[in-house]
Structure 1
């Protein structure tokens, strides 16, 4: 069994148009949403997930999102912060996941849209479900998806092989 959490970075600031996209920090709203989602992780049914590995884009807003979650764990999980995750497409993200070591059971991927939304929809079983419909309508900043796979090896990750187990947004947890 493999579990994949997909977390879109929190809302970024557009206050300064001269700041390159990769360097944009979180906005005040993004900071509030981050606190909301960290609190959700702490109190969610099943407890705070403990990923075996965190994969994160190098963008300032994704690294800030990661930094806001790190206090959830007494000892930080292993991490890979890599430019390859910056604005990566769903196929590129899926290829990276298929290359993971098999003992890695649970992964948290912090990244960007449209890659995360496309990946969630690609990997999830194609049957219509309320969660799938919501993802197709909008995958806002701060959204978290949990997919579960009945596979033993990441290399067996295939389109439609996942079960959508969770989709939650900061706005659902608390008004931001």
Structure 2
């Protein structure tokens, strides 16, 4: 059984007149949300062996803010081809990964991340989680899938059981109660 985690980058700053979309940094809200998601990743004992991270500034900053909560022995690949990739391209990238990795965390962008999550989620996924996933995939949200496959190359739409869909606002609500 493989595990796949899809994390959308944290909230970016649209006000910063940076060098275009690729260079947009995280907004203050994103700088707060990413470490909270990192803590939740640790609490859930999510231990990716491989992290595939877009090279866009906001995605790289998201990785930096969650990295301390990841296993010490993980490999990170910063990849330009994740930037604004289609769900088909993202699926192709995942299928090309080594089967030595039992779990992969991908840090990317919408609309590709959201569409890929919807494609992977299979009928065994809890209806409540599917409804939540299909309603909105906000920044810094994490979808977790159990995949009943032996090799990454075998991953197909509908193969995943959605086990978690966590949004930063859910964590804020939990902290205030």
**In which range does the TM-score fall when normalised by the shorter chain?**
over 0.9
Cα distance in 2 for partners of 1:142, 1:74 equals 19
Pairing 1:128-167 to 2, within 5 Å after superposition = 129-167=127-165
- Contiguous gaps of at least 5 residues in structure 1: none
The residue aligned with 2:96 is: 99
Q: How far off is 1:90 after superposition?
A: 0.5
The residue aligned with 1:37 is: 37
Q: How many residues align?
A: 173
The one of 113, 122, 125 aligned to 2:122: 125
Cα distance in 2 for partners of 1:89, 1:70 equals 25
Q: TM-score, normalised by structure 2?
A: 0.92
1:116 lines up with 2:117 in the alignment: no
The one of 84, 90, 113 aligned to 1:87: 84
Cα distance in 1 for partners of 2:89, 2:62 equals 21
Deviates more, 1:138-147 or 1:31-40: 31-40
Q: How far off is 1:74 after superposition?
A: 6.0
Q: How far off is 1:14 after superposition?
A: 1.2
Contact 1:70 1:76 in 2 (8 A): no
Contact 2:48 2:71 in 1 (8 A): no
Cα distance in 1 for partners of 2:72, 2:146 equals 24
The residue aligned with 2:6 is: 6
Q: How far off is 1:114 after superposition?
A: 0.7
- Contiguous gaps of at least 5 residues in structure 2: none
Contact 2:123 2:161 in 1 (8 A): no
Cα distance in 2 for partners of 1:41, 1:161 equals 22
Cα distance in 1 for partners of 2:80, 2:18 equals 21
Distance 1:62 1:18, change over 3 A: closer
Q: Deviations over 1:32-88 (max 9, x none)?
A: 1112212212323xx2x1111000000000000000111124625111101000011
Q: TM-score, normalised by structure 1?
A: 0.92
Q: How far off is 1:18 after superposition?
A: 4.8
